[in-house]
A and B are shown apart, each in its own frame.
Chain A
């Protein structure tokens, strides 16, 4: 999300109006009494207007007009005064009268355009400025007004052409340059915008300077120059230290530009940020991994709005990531005492688990599920927590319910499958794995999970799965994975029939799988085994070699290849392959040992006073 873009857009609405509104039509020098009176009224009203006495100015003009004066200048001043007083309808009528009385003058159209701009009637403003240009094509005010109006109408490319012409008339004019640069930036011409801005200098007026630096920052960001952007925003923020938008942009670009802490030095945030703003700043720090910097913002958010669940969640996560897990958990527990929340329990469970308090984690996941039984994620996580800690019965129950509540969730079925697997209910596991595949047949992850059934399902249990796998393979005829699933299952089922095994059909599907996905290691492996079962040893070797090329870490492939080589009496090759198999298997064993050592830390106590030496005891008695 580009927060700075939004903030900069807020900075510059109506930037041109003030400059235009004082463009005034000069009263013609007419030597009549009425004209003299009108001129006097005009001069008096203009003076009042300049002194901010708009109502008095309007009264003077109205008196003159009531006295019969019809001078266009009076209507111009009347429009200005009425506009200042917020009597926009009266102002519009005055400027329209002006255009009727002086139709060939651009001024009336320009001021009408300015009024429309002020009122947000940008289409009408553009029309008015275009009319002004009809009368005076190179009228600076008309060009600027038209360009500015078109910017507001998101017609940036057209706007840029008029603003460029205005720039040609008054090169160096800040307002023109700013609007032109803005139009170019919005027209995705950031480099051109940067060039325009480089021809400007920041005005003395701090408000305008803030706009200048802000736009420079945005353009630099567009050009992926975070350092330059950061510098511009820093200047803008120095001039306007209460701007949340500028601070946010400054933080973002500074964090992007600086890779060291010293490069990341930031000023204090604006005072009186809202809870939402504090949260946003905190999230920005978090997005750069600066949890310590984020914590004060989140803490402030929580202080301002103790009921903000988002703030509590983010603060807790920041504490945790900053190595303050216990503080995080305390925070959430305090919050939960006030107001139970499924999401808070879920986060607390994650923190419990990360800190090794897995019993508490399971309880927290359970609370999350109870508070929001419609959340599929909570069910999944609760089940996984049980599975991860060998608590298989509850895991099975969670996923049994999970699959009923979320029948379209393939991962609930995967959880169920792994739970069955853990308690050695392989037939049931295979059924659940296959159900997951039926729900999400295109998912590689689900297929890979399903593929584990190949290594444990007894041959007779394939029978029930074959029709389902056949249907899947038919419905997704271009899926290499589903062709493999059916072919491999069929092969395993047939293999159990011994010499009566019919291997042609499974071969067809396995060959299709490798045709659809030539680097499909598992399919090459199964195909190799199918050929080996048929005593087609050389074909088996070819497939195993391909499986190894596709998956060099496949210990199974090396083992089977070694066995086939041995059957071919190529003992040297067999020995090589089996040695490689051993290397890979040893890696697996090391992983197991590591896993085991992690479990061992939970051994509660050593055996106490065990009469294990009875054998020796008896010996000594003899």
Chain B
């Protein structure tokens, strides 16, 4: 339990960091532009994120289910222009008192740096082994709906538009007839009919979630069935639900070819148009099995081609403990590249898009080969310094959350966040130790969601930490570059414009991003797209709506949020 002393220590650390942080010497002595370092401070407690994510384990046994979960979402549920936070909670191997039952939490952004827990009011109290979350406006009513995955049965929450949600799982046809170990999810309009469909990843066969293993690898003197990962357990298939356009969904996993892929241990789908054909493809980060790339055949079906595409394995053809994934164009070649987090002592994977949907594993030459500590989960390409070169942030966490067993800690339990600066468009350098006090803290993190949480033009993040409080990281370092935040409203395209691509040209660099549901690790980022513009004062913005229309906006001024409606251009702007 976080106590007052620790909270005060956190404040003290943050304050000291602000006061003592030196000016970057490079800026004054060499004549070259100063190197920017962010200063991320965890302000979760001050902000009112006061509910722990709970995973109660067995006193001496391990079980796989205690290792997963922890999705988190940033989305504007009340359409007030400010990002709210949804935290997926876990459960445990005990009977909780009625008033202590862990539940998911929705925190409303108070627009002043604090949040209010509105879970109950919003009708989102729910108990169970929560896993992941994604957001999308499945009924195109202008309100973002919520989909939460469970070890058990998933739940679709319809946003009523009045600050409350209604469980629409049954009516929508998404109530699963059987229990599954569902993990990541993403809304995706795979058939481009303007209605968001839904993709759900699954991990291991349901029965293995609560099978017990001895947790003490040091045991001598009694038989010890030590859990050593998922290898050898029966895998699962993913689900694809087609939106019928009337608020209901139909399971088209078989018809669409999703079920044809081999059994995997799936975690996080990351949707993107990887082959640049205008149709959304689906990449799935899988644990200990080949990661999958479902290429959209543009006829309602997919073909899995992860191996040929070069994103199924590492450079040696070895499966990895894939956890989370994100994609942007990190090297300005106009193609979506992929970063995938992996298990401890495995490097994260950086797949460079060579065109035609083919990738090359450039992890080592790009400088990510040394990032092998702890288990890495949520991730995202964020341009923290707004230089127009997307950087990479990764959160990590030991495989077993604290409190789920006393003997299971392997020597490497240091679980800190990692920030890799994009140095020149091709190479990344670890600057975690200069990224602020939040990067010195160790948590058992899982999901992370990125977004302009405080409407400051700077990317913040929320992290779901198991058996711990969430982290809310705010960059307190003043920006030195320009930026642009783009919010899209679809008309022919689905209302949330999910799947729409935005190409920004500024400062002699081109950037490509897409509005994405899901991603990171079982989490949801801000649906608004943040672009760093460097020294540019404005940018050229090209939008390729998923519905097919294209728009080009010239000289869009920097340092503001622009809202673009399909077919109408910029309909509003807000300078932060």
Contact (Cβ within 8 A) A578 B307: yes
Cβ of A67: which chain B residues have Cβ within 8 Å of it? none
Contact (Cβ within 8 A) B91 A614: yes
Interface size on A, residues (CB 8 A): 70
Cβ of B86: which chain A residues have Cβ within 8 Å of it? none
- From A593, A616, A622, B152 is in contact (CB under 8 Å) with A616
B interface footprint on A595-622 (CB within 8 Å = 1, 0 otherwise): 1110110111111001111111111001
Q: Is A456 an interface position by the 8 A CB rule?
A: yes
How far is B356's CA from A574's CA once the two chains are assembled, in angstroms? Answer: 15
Cβ of A459: which chain B residues have Cβ within 8 Å of it? 364, 369-370
How far is B308's CA from A8's CA once the two chains are assembled, in angstroms? Answer: 74
Residues B339-358 near A (CB distance < 8 A): 344-345, 347, 354, 358
Q: Is B460 an interface position by the 8 A CB rule?
A: no
Cβ of A324: which chain B residues have Cβ within 8 Å of it? none
How far is B364's CA from A363's CA once the two chains are assembled, in angstroms? Answer: 44
Cβ of B129: which chain A residues have Cβ within 8 Å of it? 612, 614-615
Q: A459-B369, A612-B151 are in contact. Are A425 and B411 (CB under 8 A)?
A: yes
Q: Is B223 an interface position by the 8 A CB rule?
A: yes
Q: Is A533 an interface position by the 8 A CB rule?
A: yes
Contact (Cβ within 8 A) B212 A391: no
How far is B188's CA from A343's CA once the two chains are assembled, in angstroms? Answer: 67
Contact (Cβ within 8 A) B369 A599: no
- From B212, B224, B317, A607 is in contact (CB under 8 Å) with B212
How far is B316's CA from A455's CA once the two chains are assembled, in angstroms? Answer: 8
Identify the interface centre among A363, A582, A610: most chain B CB within 10 Å of its CB.
A610
- From A560, A581, A595, A606, B211 is in contact (CB under 8 Å) with A606
Q: Is B78 an interface position by the 8 A CB rule?
A: no
Cβ of A559: which chain B residues have Cβ within 8 Å of it? 313, 316-317
How far is B218's CA from A386's CA once the two chains are assembled, in angstroms? Answer: 9
Q: A578-B307, A581-B317, A604-B212 are in contact. Are A618 and B128 (CB under 8 A)?
A: yes
Residues A387-407 near B (CB distance < 8 A): 389-394
Residues A342-385 near B (CB distance < 8 A): 358-359, 362-363
Q: Is A496 an interface position by the 8 A CB rule?
A: yes
Cβ of A607: which chain B residues have Cβ within 8 Å of it? 63, 93, 210-212
Residues B197-235 near A (CB distance < 8 A): 209-214, 217-226, 228, 231-233
- From B127, B209, B225, A615 is in contact (CB under 8 Å) with B127
Q: Is B571 an interface position by the 8 A CB rule?
A: no
Cβ of B436: which chain A residues have Cβ within 8 Å of it? none
Contact (Cβ within 8 A) B228 A390: yes
Cβ of A578: which chain B residues have Cβ within 8 Å of it? 307-308
Q: Is B412 an interface position by the 8 A CB rule?
A: yes
Residues A536-570 near B (CB distance < 8 A): 555-556, 558-560, 562-563, 566-567
Q: A459-B364, A559-B316 are in contact. Are A389 and B126 (CB under 8 A)?
A: no
Contact (Cβ within 8 A) B370 A391: no
Q: Is A592 an interface position by the 8 A CB rule?
A: yes
Contact (Cβ within 8 A) B358 A566: yes
Q: Which of chain A's residues has its CB closest to B309's CB?
A: A566
How far is B171's CA from A290's CA once the two chains are assembled, in angstroms? Answer: 74
How far is B481's CA from A528's CA once the two chains are assembled, in angstroms? Answer: 43
Cβ of A612: which chain B residues have Cβ within 8 Å of it? 91, 129, 151-152, 209-210
Cβ of A533: which chain B residues have Cβ within 8 Å of it? 365
Cβ of B219: which chain A residues have Cβ within 8 Å of it? 391
How far is B369's CA from A498's CA once the two chains are assembled, in angstroms? Answer: 11
B330 to chain A, nearest CB (A): 14
Q: A499-B365, A610-B93 are in contact. Are A615 and B150 (CB under 8 A)?
A: yes
Cβ of B276: which chain A residues have Cβ within 8 Å of it? none
Contact (Cβ within 8 A) B426 A499: yes
B361 to chain A, nearest CB (A): 8
Q: A458-B347, A606-B212, A616-B152 are in contact. Are A496 and B364 (CB under 8 A)?
A: yes
Sample of 13 A–B contacts (CB below 8 Å): A386-B220, A391-B218, A425-B412, A498-B366, A501-B365, A562-B308, A592-B232, A597-B232, A604-B61, A604-B214, A605-B212, A612-B91, A618-B126
